[in-house]
């Protein structure tokens, strides 16, 4: 069996502070709709007592 290749290592500074890039209007709309949907779901579950 051949030796396993180790995955590449990345420094914490290189991988931190991710950036969300939404260039098109439909991408922004879908992103905001998803955030609003999550908030509405949490509110609904809180009101429903689940």
Question: For residue 23, what is the DSSP state?
Answer: -
pLDDT digits (tens, 9 = 90+) for 1-49: 777 888 888 787 777 777 778 889 999 999 999 999 999 999 999 999 8
**Angle subtended at Cα 27 by Cα 37 and Cα 46, rounded to the nearest 5 degrees:** 10
Predicted TM-score (pTM) of the model is 0.57
**pLDDT (0 to 100) of residue 7:** 85
**Angle subtended at Cα 22 by Cα 26 and Cα 17, rounded to the nearest 5 degrees:** 155
Question: For residue 36, what is the DSSP state?
Answer: H
**Could you give the residue ranges of the DSSP H alpha helices within the chain?**
12-15, 25-48
């Amino acid at each position: 069996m051949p030796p396993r290749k180790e995955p590449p290592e990345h420094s914490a500074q290189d991988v931190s502070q991710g950036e969300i890039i939404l260039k098109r209007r439909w991408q922004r709309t879908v992103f905001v709709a998803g955030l609003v949907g999550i908030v509405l779901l949490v509110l609904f579950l809180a009101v429903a007592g689940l």
